[in-house]
Amino acid sequence: SFPFLIRLFPSLLNKFVYLNFLSFPFFVDFRRPELLVNNTISLYLTTEPGVTVGIWHTVPSSRGAEAQGKDQRWYEEALADAHPVIIYLHGNGGSR
Residues near 88 by beta carbon (within 8 Å), at least 6 away in sequence: none
pLDDT digits (tens, 9 = 90+) for 58-95: 888 888 888 888 888 998 888 888 888 888 877 655 55
pLDDT digits (tens, 9 = 90+) for 32-65: 888 878 888 888 889 899 998 888 888 888 888 8
Q: pTM, whole model, 2 decimals?
A: 0.61
Distance, in Å, from the CA atom of 39 to the CA atom of 85, rounded to the nearest integer, reads 15
